[in-house]
């Protein structure tokens, strides 16, 4: 039977401890402001005084809608230290998604960043329960200014009164396969997810200078406390502006950042990339989805040996890491890998019955990790299904080579069954992007009267390219055989993305369905 001390790690207390270690160092910095570690502690204490005075207590859920900011991180830690759970609303999600998340989480309080989300507040608030306490970060007409209230509260020593069974965070999945689900982490699991595992598995600099451009509401938020634990400085941007990011890396000698693949493509295609000094960068960590091997090689050639991949999902992060040393032109097969299993995780490939598969065959990637979710919020049946057999079932289908490296071939729900054969979309996508005129692509299965499903490819060609659909079909046939050749090729200027930067295949299926639907007369 587990001992109580095995899961009694207090996430809020760990954050406060990290901040006490280096009181005079700069914790957060922007173009106009600097905040020391001691000033960060002070603001957390003031925010706790405000929240407690407004009735927040252990077990309450606080929702936050904000861009990346110093204040939003501080109020998150303040709430978690009070034993409240925090659910961050992705700043790019639709209002309907925000309404659902606030209601599903049972939030008692909603904090909205006035600078970037006042317009969202006017659409969101009328649809919410009138009992929800509304606060603004900054002056606004929709609620009291939390920062002004904190100033008036005076200096208060921050504390952590969280209990082991208190919810620390609820992250909602992107919902590309249906309604978003809330992944619940209690205090101890949150510590593994957002402190222990990142410190153990990521290639973090010894003295971090981090540029945060991806939203802290999702994976990027798990880097902040580990970097502060190491005494680093965090530079936060409210959104991804390529020119501003390049200038900040050069000016501040940034040595670590996290980008999703769509951001990396934008960076590589930007005309001023080669005019900026990127030599300080030690690690460019990427994740959320894969990068095509040709573009990954381009990144390595232009940015240097800095690329590092983290594979995981909302339910568990990381499962594996493809380290900088694995990103080499002389080991090209590894550029398609999602990495070697993380030290914080036990990974297995299992069949439909939950048994290990023979070496070299495909199976579902499953994981055991202290960073995995405790449960889905209010979804006991889905929790039981996802955690069946003591494993977190990721829904990703993959293989593992003899060294232990993992290779994702598809999402379980994205596998195409055509003429009775299983076709993995990743195989077709890799074949297509190996063509010199293809920039980005996405492959889905669409209904077909004869084959059941047909391989359908949506392709963004490189600037100036004129490759035809027939040439690309022939290219795939030569690489993978006729079974994998697309039955339909659509050239597009852009692909739909989720709020976290993944290609949204659900939206593509909806688009394909509308295109094939008969006209109403």
Specify the length of the chain in residues: 521
Last residue within a domain, chosen from 353, 371, 400: 400
Whether 412 maps to a domain, the answer reads no
DSSP element (H, E) containing 106: none
* Neighbouring C-alpha atoms within 13 Å toward the C-beta of 519: 1
What per-residue confidence (pLDDT) applies to 518?
42
* pLDDT at res. 199: 94
What is the chain's pLDDT, residue by residue, as a tens digit (521 residues)? 455 555 568 899 999 999 999 999 999 998 889 999 999 999 999 999 999 999 999 999 999 999 999 999 999 999 999 999 999 998 888 898 899 999 999 999 999 999 989 999 999 999 999 999 999 999 999 999 999 999 999 999 999 999 999 999 999 986 544 578 999 999 999 999 999 999 999 999 999 999 999 989 888 899 999 999 999 999 999 989 999 999 999 999 999 999 988 889 899 999 999 999 999 999 999 987 778 888 899 999 999 999 999 999 999 999 999 999 999 988 888 999 999 999 999 999 999 899 999 888 999 999 999 999 999 999 999 999 999 999 999 989 899 999 999 998 877 777 788 876 778 888 898 899 999 999 999 999 888 877 788 999 999 999 999 999 999 999 998 888 888 899 999 999 999 987 777 788 888 888 887 665 443 33
Query: What span, in angstroms and rounded, lies between the C-alpha atoms of 94 and 78?
Result: 27
Give 474-484 pLDDT, tens digit per residue: 999 888 888 88
* Measured distance CA(97)–CA(106) in Å, rounded: 14
DSSP classification of residue 31: S
Residues 143 and 217 in one domain: yes
Residues 214 and 85 grouped into a single domain: yes
CA distance 86 to 104: 13
In this structure, the answer to whether residues 46 and 131 fall within a common structural domain is yes
pLDDT of residue 385: 93
Report pLDDT for 177: 47
Indicate the burial class of 6 (C-beta count within 10 angstroms; 0-12, 13-18, 19 or more): exposed
For residue 287, the SS3 value is: coil
The answer to the question of residue 111 being in a domain is: yes
Same domain, 469 and 395: no
- Residue 328 domain flag: yes
Among residues 391, 491, 500, the alpha carbon closest in space to that of 173 is found at: 500
pLDDT at 514: 66
Residue 368 domain-assigned (yes or no): yes
- CATH code (residue 427): 3.30.300.30
Residue 503 is given by DSSP the state: B
Residue 371 phi/psi, 5-degree rounding, is: -90, -5
The string of DSSP letters for 158-202 reads: ------TTSEEEEEEP--TTSS--EEEEEHHHHHIIIIIHHHHHS
C-alpha distance from residue 469 to each of 25, 40, 196, 432 (Å) = 57, 56, 48, 11
> Do residues 151 and 199 both lie within one domain?
yes
Q: Which domain holds residue 341?
A: 4-400
- Same domain as 421, residue 393: no
Q: Which of 367, 400, 433 is the last residue of a domain?
A: 400
Same domain assignment for residues 358 and 501: no
Measured between alpha carbons, how far apart are the two ends of the chain, in Å?
67
In angstroms, rounded to a whole number, what is the distance separating the alpha carbons of residues 268 and 265? Answer: 5
Answer for the pair 181, 382: CB distance below 8 angstroms, yes or no: yes
> Which pLDDT score is estimated for 521?
33
* Cα–Cα dist 366/363, whole Å: 9
Of 351, 372, 400, the domain-final residue:
400
Asked, for residue 405, whether it belongs to a domain, the answer is no
Residues 189 and 264 in one domain: yes
Q: What is the Cα–Cα distance from 257 to 209, expressed in whole angstroms? A: 9
Task: Please state whether 120 falls in left (phi above 0), alpha (psi between -120 and 50) or beta.
Answer: alpha
Q: Please tell me whether residues 176 and 207 are part of one structural domain.
A: yes
Q: Residue 436 corresponds to which tokens in the numbers above?
A: 């010199």
- Do 386 and 434 sit in the same domain of this protein? no
CATH number at residue 140: 3.40.50.12780
Domain-located, residue 410: no
How far apart, in whole angstroms, are the C-alpha atoms of residue 306 and residue 233? 19
Same domain, 199 and 342: yes
What is the reported pLDDT for 7?
59
Residue 521 lies in a domain: no
In a domain, 408, yes or no: no
The domain total for the chain is 2
Interacting residues of 330 by C-beta distance below 8 A, sequence separation 6+ = none
Residues 193 and 252 in one domain: yes
């Amino acid at each position: 039977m587990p001992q109580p001390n095995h899961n009694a790690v207090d996430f809020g207390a760990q954050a406060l401890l990290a901040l006490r270690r280096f009181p005079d160092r700069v914790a957060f910095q922007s173009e106009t402001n600097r905040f020391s570690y001691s000033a960060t502690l002070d603001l957390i204490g003031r925010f706790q005084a405000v929240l407690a005075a407004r009735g927040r207590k252990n077990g309450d859920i606080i929702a936050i809608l904000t861009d990346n900011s110093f204040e939003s991180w501080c109020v998150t830690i303040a709430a978690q230290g009070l034993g409240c759970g925090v659910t961050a609303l992705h700043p790019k999600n639709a209002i309907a998604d925000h309404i659902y998340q606030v209601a599903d989480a049972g939030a008692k309080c909603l904090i909205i960043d006035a600078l970037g989300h006042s317009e969202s507040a006017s659409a969101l608030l009328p649809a919410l329960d009138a009992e929800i306490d509304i606060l603004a970060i900054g002056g606004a007409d929709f609620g009291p200014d939390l920062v002004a209230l904190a100033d008036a509260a005076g200096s208060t020593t921050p504390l952590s009164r969280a209990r082991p069974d208190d919810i620390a965070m609820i992250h909602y999945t992107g919902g590309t396969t249906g309604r978003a689900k809330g992944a619940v982490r209690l205090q101890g699991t949150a510590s593994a997810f957002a402190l222990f595992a990142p410190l153990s598995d990521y290639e973090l600099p010894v003295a971090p200078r981090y540029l945060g451009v991806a939203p802290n509401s999702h994976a990027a938020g798990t880097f902040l406390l580990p970097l502060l634990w190491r005494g680093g400085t965090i530079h936060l941007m409210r959104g991804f502006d390529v020119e501003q990011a390049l200038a900040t890396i050069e000016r501040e000698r940034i040595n670590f950042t996290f980008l999703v693949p769509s951001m990396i493509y934008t960076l590589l295609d930007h005309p001023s990339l080669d005019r900026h000094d990127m030599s300080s960068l030690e690690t460019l960590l990427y994740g959320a989805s894969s990068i095509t091997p040709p573009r990954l090689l381009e990144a390595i050639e232009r940015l240097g040996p800095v690329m590092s991949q983290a594979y995981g999902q909302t339910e568990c992060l990381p499962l594996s890491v493809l380290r900088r040393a694995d990103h080499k032109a002389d080991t090209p097969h590894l550029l398609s890998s999602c990495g070697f299993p993380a030290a914080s995780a036990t990974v297995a490939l299992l069949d439909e019955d939950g048994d290990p598969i023979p070496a070299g065959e495909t199976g579902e990637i499953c994981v055991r990790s202290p960073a995995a979710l405790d449960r889905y919020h209010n979804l006991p049946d889905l929790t039981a299904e996802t955690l069946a057999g003591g494993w977190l079932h990721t829904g990703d289908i993959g293989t593992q080579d003899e060294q232990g490296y993992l290779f994702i071939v598809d999402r379980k729900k994205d596998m195409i069954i055509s003429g009775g054969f299983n076709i993995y979309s990743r195989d077709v996508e890799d074949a297509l992007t190996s063509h010199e005129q293809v920039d980005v692509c996405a492959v889905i299965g669409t209904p077909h009267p004869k084959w059941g499903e047909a391989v359908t490819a949506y392709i963004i060609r490189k600037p100036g390219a004129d490759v035809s659909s027939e040439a690309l079909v022939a290219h795939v046939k030569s690489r993978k055989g006729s079974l994998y050749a697309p039955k339909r090729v659509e050239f597009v200027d852009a692909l739909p993305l989720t709020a976290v930067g993944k290609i949204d295949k659900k939206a593509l299926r909806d688009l394909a369905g509308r295109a094939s639907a008969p006209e109403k007369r």
